[in-house]
Structure 1
Amino acid sequence: MKRVWRFSSDATRVQLLLFQPHLNGFSKPKPIPSFSSALSYRQLKTVSNLFSDIIPLFTVKASSSIKEDLTNNVTILRDELIRESSDSVRVQSILDDNYDLLNRRYPKGYAFFELMSCLDSNPSLALQVFNWRRKRCNAENPMDASEYSKGIITAGRSGNINYAVKLFKEAATKGLKTTGTYNALMSAFSFNDFADSCQTLFCDLKRDPTCDPSIVTYNILISSFGSLMLVDHMEATFCEIRKLDLAMNISTYNNLIAGYITAWMWDDTEKVFQMLKSSPVQPNMKTYLLMLRGYANSGNLEKMEEMYSLVRDHVNENEIPLIRCMICAYCRSSDSDKVKKIELLLKFIPEKEYRPWLNVLMIKLYAKEDLLEKMENAINEAFEHGTSIRTKIIMRCIIATYYRCNAVEKLENFVRRAEISGWSTCRSLYHCKLVMYGSQKPLHELYRVLEEMENVKLACTKKTLWIMHKAYTNRGQSSMVLKTLGLMFKHGYQFPLDAFPS
């Protein structure tokens, strides 16, 4: 598979901002070095894992009663902030009113970290909270490296890379530059697909005498390379982890699996999964969900169903995209019970999760299986949601089903609604009507079909006239046969072989 590398003007601008000459300990960005070349590393020590899956987890170490009280208060505050998130002035007012909660009532930083963690799904609001804390820090209540790490990652998740760099530099100026702040900025770069900036920062971390890369650092690199399908770099990073004898955690394996799935390298995905199962590290829910997606994308239904059985309840409740992925896998397969299995999965997709492409996929599936009633229900759903089919292949599948099921009235109704709704029109629609009219309808209606074709600007072709000739011949309408032959002659079309029997 061709490797892809993304360089952008944004990434270049970020590098220039980060690596300014006046900052001690930094160098100008260099091209990404090849891990395959011999590298010299100082002995690395394992530092505590500040981050898991890129986002840092800050744990409150307090008694259960204090922690429960803290959680309740922070939850109330979070909900109030979310309700007022569109009004930045109101957000600041709410935070001011809760200054005591966030800075004094609980052990230092606990409430602030808890609130920031609760707002992970709303990074722009979380960044407002962080900025509020940053403006109010003082000598008596200073910010520490963990808070800066949280802010850097939040800025990255909100897409504000320049601000993440600014916070990193500010922490360094205050003597708070740690492996955690390096990891945070690398995470911000990785999250925004700035793999070159991420790699350059990693090189500076290795040269920094005050900090050492941790397993989290290498996990971020693996994630960054994997998301851009830079498999060679990802594998070289993993080899370096083994060379340094760093203790791998579940994120290491998950990031490798995710990288191979992104590159559609199914055998390597399975190898890493088997390696994980034979290691002291145990797979977690994220591992199983990744493997479920991998098996679905690769069409390995047996292992997909086996993996689904392990996480069925979680997937049905929380992983609608994965359910759609499994449906696609069944649609591509030759499984004899695929319609039944797909319909069981569809029950877990709520109406608000409607996707036009999935609706069209179901129309195509039912059409190929000649399930006329279910196909029409899916078509009605598409009309109700304003979904248009513009692909002639799918339209021909629908038409063929009406023909095989000998449903001429339903075909008429479908053609009429398709024309009104702006669906793709093709001659096959009207040719199918001609064929079915020729055997079931009064013959004068054949010309009505020609008029319909003219209305949608579809010219009469040789095939159109041949269909009409056959219909008139079969019904013994010799005068109409001759008229049709005249039209063929007029347009210069070849006559059917049986047009003039001996």
Structure 2
Amino acid sequence: MRSSPCWKLVNSLIFIKGPTNNLRLLCMGDKGISLISPTSNIEFFLRREIGFGFYGNGGNGDLRCFCMGKEQQQPLSKIVSSNCFGGISSTGLDKQRIGEELSNQIAKVVDELVGGGATDNDAEKLSAILEGQSAILNSPDGTAFIVLLDRLKTWPHLALEVFNWKRKQANSGVQMLYEEYSKGIMYAGRVKNIDLAVELFSEANTRGIKRSTSLYNALMTAYMYNGLIKKSLAVFEDLKREAHCRPTLVTYNILLSIFGRSMLIDHMEMVYKAIFDSNLSPNINSYNTLIAGYVTAWMWDDMERTFKNMEEGPVRPDYCTHLLMLRGYAHARMVEKMEKTYELVRDLVDKKEVALIRAMICAYCKSSDADRVKKIERLIQLLPEEEYRPWIDVLLIRVYAQEDMVEGMEDSIYRAFERNTIVATVSVMRSIISSYFRCNAVDKLEVFIKQAEFAGWRLCRSLYHSKMVMYGSLNRFPEMESVIGEMEAFNFHPTKKTFLILYKSYVKSGQRNDVLRILGAMCKAGFSLPLDALSL
């Protein structure tokens, strides 16, 4: 087994490449080690022993891998070689088959690290926890340690501290693998420590680890996380110049993400084409990244075209795809399609996807859906208090105002005042004015204006004009004329429309003397008189 070019332990299975580069399988059973070859015999073994995990033949004598009963169109030999030699992810199969006992041990380590205070930068606690499991974490194949790093992805700072613990172990003779350095570089990028990522990339070479595609991919990812697009692309050029390395599908997926995030859609599509030109097949990550790029660029037709190609092709949409489509439909205000997609992932969205809930709230607020208020209020109930955003109140104010739901509008206004939210949009203010006007709620409008003045909200002349009209319709003339003084206090000087509101109110109520007084004021201010004034 030591003479084989490469081997990987997958629970009780070892995949090897023989002298002629053909795929073989070693099975360690009760009766010792058995060598299974060629591919047809491997297929029979995997069907019998694993069943749902591997099934079927690719038509060219090469076994293909299935996941959860859905075909992932890649030959098994390609998957195994990618994980063993290609630098995509050295533990793709290992993580799935590390065994229940080892998996439970790693889960216990994660629980101790996260719940035992190691997340509080307590180096002594962290070291004590890891030292207690050093026998499995320092294993030669590195599987356990790499899986541990994977499971700490929610806590990148902690994952980096765990990796640094392993670096210290390496100073005492413990071997480190390129896969471990790849994880360390990636986590350094995630915590925005790009200098450390570059240092680890160089350190791996210093320790005698041959530079692999995986290391280059990790450094590209680190630069991408930090928005250093040019440096990430420079690493890609270095990768292409490396004699023993070549870009893998993961490399191209990183490029898709870089260009998608930068809205360089033409470049993103060129990378997608390059995947095929390199005799590779896009996987679910490729398509999801492509869709994410179109969503970022608000290219809805291309987003839907890509999704349709997935539905009709070998790589089927997964839940991440549906979440991306849900985001796209929400931003595009395609409410009907958004709702259909939401039903597919509703349980997941309601529990975890807070950002998507906010996006859907925004979509409903800007739609003409007949039941939008009811749907908005249901979604708001799903938002934790800390995930509530000030702009939601602003949108709700406008929605309730448009629906003439004064109570709901005022509740949202009150929440906005409480959170010190400042409305700076004239259209929102006019929606509030119109709602009060249609409901003939002049006293409520009076209270709102005083609050808006105090809170520093965007004021406009129509705010005061509406109040004057409402006072005039109720024959509350002294209050109507006092509004002019309020306007001037905020540098809104009377216009011709201001005088016309006064004029029409007095004409309607038959107050001739006041009519003549207003006409005189108009002349004095240099405004032309209304035509019907000549008949007075």
TM-score band w.r.t. shorter chain: 0.7 to 0.9
**Residue number among 280, 289, 314 corresponding to 1:246 in the alignment:** 280
**Residue number among 396, 409, 423 corresponding to 1:375 in the alignment:** 409
Query: In the TM superposition, what is the alpha-carbon distance from 1:57 to its structure 2 partner?
Result: 10
**Are the structure 2 counterparts of residues 81 and 143 from structure 1 closer, same or farther at C-alpha, using a change threshold of 3 Å?**
farther
Match of 1:97 in 2: 128
Aligned partners of 1:347 and 1:190: how far apart in 2? 36
Aligned partners of 1:394 and 1:58: how far apart in 2? 56
Gap regions ≥5 residues in structure 2? 1-77
Write the letter of the residue equivalent to 1:331: C
Asked whether 1:229 is paired with 2:263, we answer: yes
Query: In the TM superposition, what is the alpha-carbon distance from 1:61 to its structure 2 partner?
Result: 4.9
Checking the alignment, whether the CA contact within 8 Å between 1:50 and 1:58 is kept in structure 2 is no
Write the letter of the residue equivalent to 2:179: S
Asked whether 1:163 is paired with 2:199, we answer: no
Aligned partners of 2:254 and 2:92: how far apart in 1? 12
* Range with bigger deviation, 213-222 or 294-303: 294-303
Query: In the TM superposition, what is the alpha-carbon distance from 1:290 to its structure 2 partner?
Result: 0.5
Match of 1:412 in 2: 446
Give a deviation string over 1:325-348, Cα, whole Å, max 9, x none. Answer: 122222333322322322222222
3-state SS in 1 of match to 2:82: coil
Asked whether 1:71 is paired with 2:107, we answer: yes
Aligned partners of 2:194 and 2:129: how far apart in 1? 29
Query: In the TM superposition, what is the alpha-carbon distance from 1:200 to its structure 2 partner?
Result: 2.3
Aligned partners of 2:411 and 2:450: how far apart in 1? 16
Query: In the TM superposition, what is the alpha-carbon distance from 1:293 to its structure 2 partner?
Result: 0.9
3-state SS in 2 of match to 1:190: helix
Checking the alignment, whether the CA contact within 8 Å between 1:331 and 1:365 is kept in structure 2 is yes
Match of 1:332 in 2: 366
**Are the structure 2 counterparts of residues 96 and 344 from structure 1 closer, same or farther at C-alpha, using a change threshold of 3 Å?**
closer
* Range with bigger deviation, 294-303 or 98-107: 98-107
Match of 1:135 in 2: 168
Aligned partners of 2:476 and 2:272: how far apart in 1? 74
Aligned partners of 2:96 and 2:173: how far apart in 1? 21
Match of 1:352 in 2: 386
Checking the alignment, whether the CA contact within 8 Å between 2:294 and 2:302 is kept in structure 1 is yes
Match of 2:505 in 1: 471
Match of 1:294 in 2: 328
Checking the alignment, whether the CA contact within 8 Å between 2:185 and 2:200 is kept in structure 1 is yes
Checking the alignment, whether the CA contact within 8 Å between 1:60 and 1:110 is kept in structure 2 is no
Query: In the TM superposition, what is the alpha-carbon distance from 1:272 to its structure 2 partner?
Result: 1.4
Aligned partners of 2:229 and 2:196: how far apart in 1? 18
Aligned partners of 2:289 and 2:464: how far apart in 1? 53
Match of 1:4 in 2: none
Checking the alignment, whether the CA contact within 8 Å between 2:82 and 2:88 is kept in structure 1 is no
Give a deviation string over 1:58-116, Cα, whole Å, max 9, x none. Answer: 8275431332133123212222345523xxxxx22112323423422556245644543
Query: In the TM superposition, what is the alpha-carbon distance from 1:265 to its structure 2 partner?
Result: 1.5
Aligned partners of 1:399 and 1:342: how far apart in 2? 22
**Are the structure 2 counterparts of residues 122 and 64 from structure 1 closer, same or farther at C-alpha, using a change threshold of 3 Å?**
closer
Q: Equivalent residues in 2 for 1:265-276 (5 A)?
A: 265-276=299-310
Asked whether 1:47 is paired with 2:82, we answer: yes
Aligned partners of 2:102 and 2:267: how far apart in 1? 46
Query: In the TM superposition, what is the alpha-carbon distance from 1:431 to its structure 2 partner?
Result: 0.8
* Range with bigger deviation, 413-422 or 331-340: 331-340
Write the letter of the residue equivalent to 2:236: F
Checking the alignment, whether the CA contact within 8 Å between 1:367 and 1:397 is kept in structure 2 is yes
Q: Equivalent residues in 2 for 1:119-134 (5 A)?
A: 119-134=152-167
Write the letter of the residue equivalent to 1:100: E
Match of 1:29 in 2: none
Aligned partners of 2:351 and 2:514: how far apart in 1? 63
Aligned partners of 1:251 and 1:290: how far apart in 2? 12
Query: In the TM superposition, what is the alpha-carbon distance from 1:119 to its structure 2 partner?
Result: 3.5
**Residue number among 95, 98, 101 corresponding to 1:59 in the alignment:** 95
Asked whether 1:152 is paired with 2:175, we answer: no
Match of 2:344 in 1: 310
Aligned partners of 1:472 and 1:465: how far apart in 2? 11
Give a deviation string over 1:6-26, Cα, whole Å, max 9, x none. Answer: xxxxxxxxxxxxxxxxxxxxx
Gap regions ≥5 residues in structure 1? 1-43, 86-90
Aligned partners of 2:94 and 2:192: how far apart in 1? 22
Write the letter of the residue equivalent to 2:462: S
3-state SS in 2 of match to 1:425: coil
Aligned partners of 2:303 and 2:227: how far apart in 1? 22
3-state SS in 2 of match to 1:269: helix
Write the letter of the residue equivalent to 2:229: A
RMSD of aligned alpha carbons: 2.4
Query: In the TM superposition, what is the alpha-carbon distance from 1:464 to its structure 2 partner?
Result: 1.1
Query: In the TM superposition, what is the alpha-carbon distance from 1:235 to its structure 2 partner?
Result: 1.1
Aligned partners of 1:83 and 1:135: how far apart in 2? 19
Match of 1:172 in 2: 205
Between Structure 1 and Structure 2, the one with more strand by share is 2
Query: In the TM superposition, what is the alpha-carbon distance from 1:189 to its structure 2 partner?
Result: 1.8
Q: Count residues with an aligned counterpart.
A: 452
Write the letter of the residue equivalent to 1:433: K
Checking the alignment, whether the CA contact within 8 Å between 2:284 and 2:315 is kept in structure 1 is yes
Aligned partners of 1:413 and 1:388: how far apart in 2? 17
Aligned partners of 1:247 and 1:439: how far apart in 2? 72
Checking the alignment, whether the CA contact within 8 Å between 2:113 and 2:119 is kept in structure 1 is no
3-state SS in 2 of match to 1:166: helix
Write the letter of the residue equivalent to 2:404: D
Q: Equivalent residues in 2 for 1:365-404 (5 A)?
A: 365-404=399-438
Query: In the TM superposition, what is the alpha-carbon distance from 1:257 to its structure 2 partner?
Result: 0.9
**Are the structure 2 counterparts of residues 121 and 51 from structure 1 closer, same or farther at C-alpha, using a change threshold of 3 Å?**
farther
Match of 2:530 in 1: 496
Identity %, equivalent residues: 47
**Residue number among 139, 145, 150 corresponding to 1:117 in the alignment:** 150
Aligned partners of 1:64 and 1:358: how far apart in 2? 46
Structure with higher RCO (Cα < 8 A, 6+ apart): 1
The two structures have a TM-score, normalised by structure 1, of 0.84
The two structures have a TM-score, normalised by structure 2, of 0.79
Match of 1:322 in 2: 356
Q: Determine which structure has more spread, i.e. the larger CA radius of gyration.
A: 2
3-state SS in 2 of match to 1:457: coil
Query: In the TM superposition, what is the alpha-carbon distance from 1:179 to its structure 2 partner?
Result: 1.5
Asked whether 1:487 is paired with 2:521, we answer: yes
